[in-house]
Amino acid sequence: MDEPTLYLADVRYRYPTGEEALRGVTLSVGAGERVGLIGPNGAGKSTLLLAIAGFVPAAGTVRLAGHTLSRATVGHVRSHLGLVFQDPDDQLFMPRVGDDVAFGPSTMGLNPHEVHMRVHEALEAVDLEGYEMRAPYHLSVGEKRRAAIATVLAMRPQVLALDEPSANLDPRGRRRLIELLRGMPNTMLVVGHDLDMILEVCGRTVLLDGGRVVADGPSGEILADRTLLESHGLELPLGLAALRNQK
Amino acid sequence: MLDHFASGASPVHRLDPAAKTVAALAAVLATVLVGRGHFLPLAPVAAALAVYHAIGRVPLKYSAKRLLICSPFAAAAAVLFPLLEPGKAVWAATLGGWTVAVTEEGLLRAADIVSKFFLCVWAVLLLLSTTRFQDMITALGRLRVPRILVTQMAFMYRYLWVLSDEAMRLRIARAARDCGYGSWRLRMRSTTAVVGMLFLRTLDRSERIYRAMAARGFDGRMGVAHAEKMRATDWLFAIAAIAAAAGIVAWDRLAYA
């Protein structure tokens, strides 16, 4: 039996204030699978990403690319998890895009030549060739988002975890991002409220609410279930709603 | 954080913040105006603070911790003054031509500075831990502290968390890609970059906040909604504090004349 690329078992986390953010999340994601993680605000989506990366001390088991998350393996796990944060300004902290993309590979201990190659390859993958010397601060939101994705692609992660990747993008920027994600071979975890995008990008959707998985299945089924979505503070994707109205 | 125990309900919590601020100021002034090396006149200041501490039920562990945080400044004085002050040596060592001597005058001076430092910090600490920060800001405004200072303090208090959140997000984003094999230079470079980015973002945020405030008619004045009235007890407390401070200073001047 193939081991799943990402495996979570009964992941629980309680904020220091006592609120329960995750109440036993169990999930397994196979190699190459693209999974959409949806749910209302405060459902625990972002917290789950932080828990997988070991940023919040959650109880339960997290296994990623054959490593069980622990104090000793957290560096390993993070190097296999490409975490793309909601706000690209958080992600891009170096003075030049090239330096920023090089940061991850450099901390992996690769030699300068290899780092250079990875930077080139990653920027090419997100259509930002020649942006090495640009200041992240002066890019457009769409460019920043793609640069942020490049910073983790350069580490060749097993799993790409994106938090609200289409937020604040104009339609063209969003379309470009969707095509980009669809063309990538990586295992992917896409968190977001842009259900139309998730429908296009992800074959499978997991609905989270109150820190628990409430539904898990093919995107075409879950995202078409109006009753399910509405009872968890979501709405039918516009694309599907329009189709229905035509009938 | 700053005013962690400020929402208590003891009699000193109920005192008017302006009266408490004046009293704390009086305690600080009395402490620093007492002559160098005169420890006896400091005793009533310490006693008054101790009584206030007890009435306000400020946890001892909490205040001890805060005092420790401020202590490096006093520690520097405690170490340096005995060595630097000229006078009668009580202990000396010669190290290759250099003579290091601990002098009696130096020790006295160090003890003086350390004790006064702790009394002053203690007084301010008690004020902060029995007064809500917002109330104190209002009180400072009533005491005619320049508006720009008061506004700045109010903003500092409001945005300290926002700023530390921002710093934390940047740190997490960096740690997410840090596998621990990077060189020392890279680490330093990325740390400075994070600090620089934090500065840029703070600047941007302040601009946004200002615009949002200006859009709602901000003209440099922070609204003081409820101007509190000093009660008789508040007047009594403030006047007693000033009188006691004046008495201590006068006693010191006369006794050691």
Instruction: Please compute the mean of the pLDDT values over residues A160-187 and round it to a whole number.
Output: 91
Does residue A125 belong to any structural domain of this protein?
A: no
Beta bridge partners of B92: B101
Does residue A142 belong to any structural domain of this protein?
A: no
Mutation target vs B (from A89, A111, A160; most B CBs, 10 A cutoff)? A89
pLDDT for B127 beyond 80:
yes
Q: Chains A, B: CB contacts under 8 A, how many?
A: 74
ipTM above 0.95, yes or no: no
User: Under an 8 A CB cutoff, do B181 and A155 touch?
Assistant: no
Does residue A190 belong to any structural domain of this protein?
A: yes
Which residue did the predictor score with more confidence, A191 or B137?
A191
Write the CATH number for A215.
3.40.50.300
Instruction: Please compute the mean of the pLDDT values over residues A204-216 and round it to a whole number.
Output: 95
Q: Which residue pairs, CB below 8 angstroms and at least 24 apart, start in B182-188?
A: B182/A103, B182/A106, B182/A107, B182/A109, B183/A106, B186/A103, B186/A106, B186/A107
Does residue A57 belong to any structural domain of this protein?
A: yes
Does residue A171 belong to any structural domain of this protein?
A: yes
Domain of A222 in residue numbering reads as 6-85+159-246
User: Under an 8 A CB cutoff, do A107 and B201 touch?
Assistant: no
Q: Are A153 and A114 in contact (CB under 8 A)?
A: no
Phi, psi of B229 (to 5 degrees): -105, 140
Does residue A184 belong to any structural domain of this protein?
A: yes
Establish if B165 touches chain A: CB-CB under 8 angstroms. no
Provide the whole-model pTM: 0.71
Does residue A133 belong to any structural domain of this protein?
A: no
Helix (H) or strand (E) holding A72: none
Establish if A32 touches chain B: CB-CB under 8 angstroms. no
Q: What is the mean pLDDT of chain B?
A: 85
Q: pLDDT (tens digit, 9 = 90+) per residue, A78-108?
A: 889 999 988 888 888 888 899 889 988 888 8
Q: pLDDT (tens digit, 9 = 90+) per residue, A123-163?
A: 999 999 999 999 888 899 889 999 999 999 999 999 999 99
Q: pLDDT (tens digit, 9 = 90+) per residue, B133-183?
A: 878 888 888 888 888 888 888 888 878 888 888 888 888 888 888 887 878
User: Under an 8 A CB cutoff, do A89 and B197 touch?
Assistant: yes
Phi, psi of A125 (to 5 degrees): -65, -30
pLDDT for A12 beyond 80:
yes
Establish if A151 touches chain B: CB-CB under 8 angstroms. yes
pLDDT for A57 beyond 80:
yes
Concatenate the DSSP letters of all residues of A152-203 into one string: HHTT--SEEEEESTTTT--HHHHHHHHHHHHT--SEEEEE-S-HHHHHHH-S
What is the model's pLDDT at position B26? Answer: 95
Residues of A in contact with B197 (CB under 8 A): 89, 93
Q: pLDDT (tens digit, 9 = 90+) per residue, B65-92?
A: 888 888 888 888 888 888 887 777 778 7
Mutation target vs B (from A87, A96, A107, A189; most B CBs, 10 A cutoff)? A107
A104 → closest Cβ in B177, B196, B201: B177
Does residue A111 belong to any structural domain of this protein?
A: no
Establish if A109 touches chain B: CB-CB under 8 angstroms. yes
Residues of B in contact with A152 (CB under 8 A): 176-177
pLDDT for B1 beyond 70:
no
Establish if A95 touches chain B: CB-CB under 8 angstroms. yes
